[in-house]
Amino acid sequence: MLDITLCRRDPDRIRRSAIRRGSDPSFVDEILRLDERHRLALTDLETKKAEKNRLSAEIAKASDRAAAAASLRPQIAALDGEIASLDALAKSLAPDTPDSPLRELLVQSPNVVDESTPDGADASANVVVRTWGTPRTFPFVARPHWEIGEKLGILDFERAAKLSGSRFAVLRGLGARLSRALAQFFLDRAAARGYVEIAPPYLVTQQTMWRTGQLTKFSDAMFADLEAGLYLIPTAEVPLTALHGDEIFDATALPIRYAAYSPCFRKEAGAAGKDTRGLIRQHQFEKVELVRIERPEDSFAALEAMTADAAALLEELGLPYRVLSLCAGDLSFNSAKTYDLEVWLPSSNEYREISSCSNCTDFQARRAQIRWRREPKAKLELVHTLNGSGLAVGRTLLAVLENYQQEDGSVVVPEALRPYVGADRIAAAE
RNA sequence: GGAGAGAUGGCAGAGCGGUUGAAUGCGGCGGUCUUGAAAACCGCUGAACCCUCACGGGUUCCGUGGGUUCGAAUCCCACUCUCUCCUCCA
């Protein structure tokens, strides 16, 4: 949700951001116009209410209250009429009235793009910030992970389809174990870097979804039981960020770092025909999500740190990757700045997203009302929230299979995972 | 799923329908005293929004939403949540 105060104070900044995202900035003028009308109505309303309160207080002070009430009744009744109509008008214009035009504009507008986010209209303008590792050269044709996995008997897409349709996978034996090993590895590393592990609910209310801004982003991409009013989380970012909704921190409580391992559920409605094979795009996948709650002045440094936290995992696993700074046009709704981590996939000779780290600044905090106090008596401020994958388990698993595949079809387990997997190689079962 | 109890400020806990945004205690902040600290004492101590350059003024908020009334934390209705007991279950 956009900050109405910022719109008033620095409308050009909002306009600039909209233009950089590739949208029409004229809504800013509409916001200012509606805001002006609302404040006028509010002032009128409050004046009338003050008058009425004064009359009521007179009755309270009178020695004969009944008589006072009787004599003032006509005046009060007149005020009541004016108050009712002014109240209706003010409400219809208010920024916090659910379907008011002003509210709609503030709520539907994406976050203000940070200055350091590169210009550009779409993914082709994303900037490679750095690249790590050298893709391995294979003396044979590198196979895609689904072939490797099926041959090893650790991935079973056919039976998954029998159970649940397309975009599901069954992991078996060391495949299942490798998946669990990755999750455990990620969580252990997160803990070592100061993230507190959280096991959140996977079903959340519509309000929780709304608070983190997912309802606009994933609304038709989410699984839900509308009757029960519960949504399956598309990412643990949702419960982690909303965890402290309506709370006020004192300065010593910040920063907060959370890590959660959770399944994620997505309809992938807009991705028909894309990535239909393998583990890349599933209706259900697991992920370790990192969330940080920061002081505003620290949030961009925290984004660098969080991105480094995620990247360190790939480095420890020996998986080549690159870091992209997403351009303004490719930035998601909530984000002011995003780094994507892309891992190297030898079967397709390309880098694929395995983590996305975003600084949502105060955008989600405003919706969720997560605030803090700089000094004991200071005014309340919104915190900044950040989230990033650290990492997506399924995609890491497939990256391991592809990057560590051997000519005989077996897969070497990366050193760092061996204690977790309990094996240094995955070979075909007899 | 059935029965009951409850929801008030950071916490605990009062609150006859009338100057109650809310007693009291704890906590927190500031001060006096002290070499320092503690204790004691004094003062302050919720939020959002609007008007104002400012001083200041105003409106709203006692789970949520309605209603009664000139006036509601207090009365009425609905809902939500929490707790206890039963049922069920992992």
**Closest-approach nucleotide to residue A68, Cα vs C1':** B70
**Residue A122: predicted pLDDT:** 92
Residue–nucleotide distance: A39 CA to B49 C1' (Å): 10
**Residue A429: predicted pLDDT:** 66
> Using an 8 Å Cβ cutoff, are A215 and A209 in contact?
yes
**Residue A272: predicted pLDDT:** 73
**Residue A129: predicted pLDDT:** 95
Is residue A389 predicted with pLDDT exceeding 90?
yes
The rounded distance, in Å, linking the Cα atoms of A430 and A412 is 18
pLDDT, one tens digit per residue, over A132-146 is: 999 999 999 999 999
Residue–nucleotide distance: A106 CA to B59 C1' (Å): 23
pLDDT, one tens digit per residue, over A29-56 is: 999 999 999 999 999 999 999 999 988 8
pLDDT, one tens digit per residue, over A238-274 is: 999 988 888 888 888 889 999 999 999 998 877 777 8
Q: What's the average model confidence in pLDDT over A334-361?
A: 95
Residue–nucleotide distance: A364 CA to B10 C1' (Å): 24
pLDDT, one tens digit per residue, over A160-194 is: 999 999 999 999 999 999 999 999 999 999 999 99
Closest CA relative to residue A161, chosen from A151, A149, A169: A169
Footprint of strand B on the protein (CB under 7 A): A 4-5, 39, 42-43, 45-47, 49-50, 52-57, 59-61, 65, 69, 72-73, 76, 80, 248, 376-377, 379-380
The rounded distance, in Å, linking the Cα atoms of A80 and A28 is 35
Residue–nucleotide distance: A376 CA to B42 C1' (Å): 21
**A359 three-class SS:** strand
**Residue A371: predicted pLDDT:** 87
pTM: 0.91
**Closest-approach nucleotide to residue A73, Cα vs C1':** B70
Q: Which residue has the higher pLDDT, A304 or A90?
A: A304
**Closest-approach nucleotide to residue A54, Cα vs C1':** B19
Residue–nucleotide distance: A350 CA to B71 C1' (Å): 72
Is residue A375 predicted with pLDDT exceeding 90?
no
Highest mean pLDDT among A99-103, A229-233, A347-351, A370-374: A347-351
If you write DSSP's letter for every residue of A202-233 in order, what string do you get?
SEEEHHHHHHTTHHHHHGGG--EETTTTEEE-
Show the CA angle centred on residue A327, arms to residues A364 and A296, nearest 5°.
35
**Residue A250: predicted pLDDT:** 80
**Closest-approach nucleotide to residue A36, Cα vs C1':** B50
**Residue A220: predicted pLDDT:** 67
Is residue A376 predicted with pLDDT exceeding 80?
no
Handedness of CA A233, A235, A236, A241 (dihedral sign): negative
Task: Please give the mean pLDDT across all residues of chain A.
Answer: 91
**Residue A359: predicted pLDDT:** 97
Strand B: which positions are within 7 A of a protein CB? 10, 18-19, 28-29, 47-51, 57-60, 70-71
Residue–nucleotide distance: A365 CA to B23 C1' (Å): 36
A255 upstream amide cis, omega within 30 of 0: yes
Catalytic positions of A are: 266, 281, 353, 356, 395
**Closest-approach nucleotide to residue A375, Cα vs C1':** B29
